[in-house]
């Protein structure tokens, strides 16, 4: 069982650093959740919008009256946990205006709203509610622990919060953060049989 993958330093707008098989799993889980419990979706850690766009497609299909809220610094990692794969400034090659233009070009702008800044600085001021699915992909201890503790306060009952980096060898701070907020037995680790990988985890609220 593998708890790492090949690091990806950059992608084009609309693409994700998450491997395709995990992106398919994430989209399927989101769809299943929204069918049972319609609501908004929140993603923390947007980068160039690959997963955000896939989640927006799910919202458009299942419950188009709702949106996907995307939160990111849009300037890369503001700090580092000390792991060489995730230095300060990584994923800084993104422009929020270019991303917005891309989203508009593919006609998903009515389903996506972006917020710029560190989640731990702006979460309390964001007027977000009725969230049924959250995707947390921050790589680092500080924002992930903040999300684990605070994002559920704006989420619906029977919703899901998904931590992309849980258990990943390149993101030790992510695992530490989630384990400090939730009991281990509550975390559903995501095992992908296709390539024998086990990183990412989600919690049913």
Q: Average pLDDT over the chain, rounded to whole?
A: 97
Helix (H), strand (E) at residue 157: strand 155-163
The pLDDT value recorded for residue 115 is 98
Give the distance from CA 192 to its chain's centroid.
Answer: 18
The pLDDT value recorded for residue 32 is 98
Cβ atoms of residues 58 and 27 within 8 Å:
yes
pLDDT in tens, 103-116: 999 999 999 999 99
Whole-model pTM over 0.85: yes
Cβ atoms of residues 138 and 45 within 8 Å:
yes
Exposure letters 149-170 (e unless 16+ CB within 10 A, then b): eebbebbbeebbbbbbbbbbeb
pLDDT in tens, 161-190: 999 999 999 999 999 999 999 999 999 999
**How far, in Å, CA of 205 to CA of 78, rounded?**
29
**How far, in Å, CA of 131 to CA of 156, rounded?**
6
The pLDDT value recorded for residue 82 is 95
What domains are there in the chain, each with its CATH number? 20-204 (3.40.50.150)
pLDDT in tens, 56-75: 999 999 999 999 999 999 99
């Amino acid at each position: 069982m593998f708890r790492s993958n090949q690091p990806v330093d950059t992608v084009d707008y609309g693409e994700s650093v998450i491997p395709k098989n995990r992106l398919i799993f994430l989209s399927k889980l989101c769809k299943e959740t929204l069918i049972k419990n319609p609501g908004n979706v929140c993603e923390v850690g947007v980068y160039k919008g690959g997963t955000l766009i896939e989640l927006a497609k799910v919202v458009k299909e299942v419950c188009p009256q709702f949106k996907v809220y995307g939160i990111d610094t849009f300037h890369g990692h503001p700090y580092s946990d000390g792991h060489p794969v995730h230095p300060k400034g990584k994923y800084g090659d993104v422009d929020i205006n270019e991303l917005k233009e891309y989203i508009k070009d593919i006609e998903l702008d009515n389903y996506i709203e972006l917020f710029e800044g560190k989640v731990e600085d702006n979460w309390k001021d964001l007027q977000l509610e009725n969230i049924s699915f959250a995707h947390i992909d921050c790589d680092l201890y500080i924002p992930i622990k903040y999300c684990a503790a605070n994002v559920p306060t704006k989420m619906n009952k029977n919703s899901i919060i998904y931590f992309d980096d849980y258990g990943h060898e390149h993101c030790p701070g992510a695992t530490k953060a989630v384990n400090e907020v939730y009991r281990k037995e509550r975390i559903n680790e995501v095992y992908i049989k296709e390539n024998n990988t086990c990183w990412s985890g989600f919690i049913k609220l």
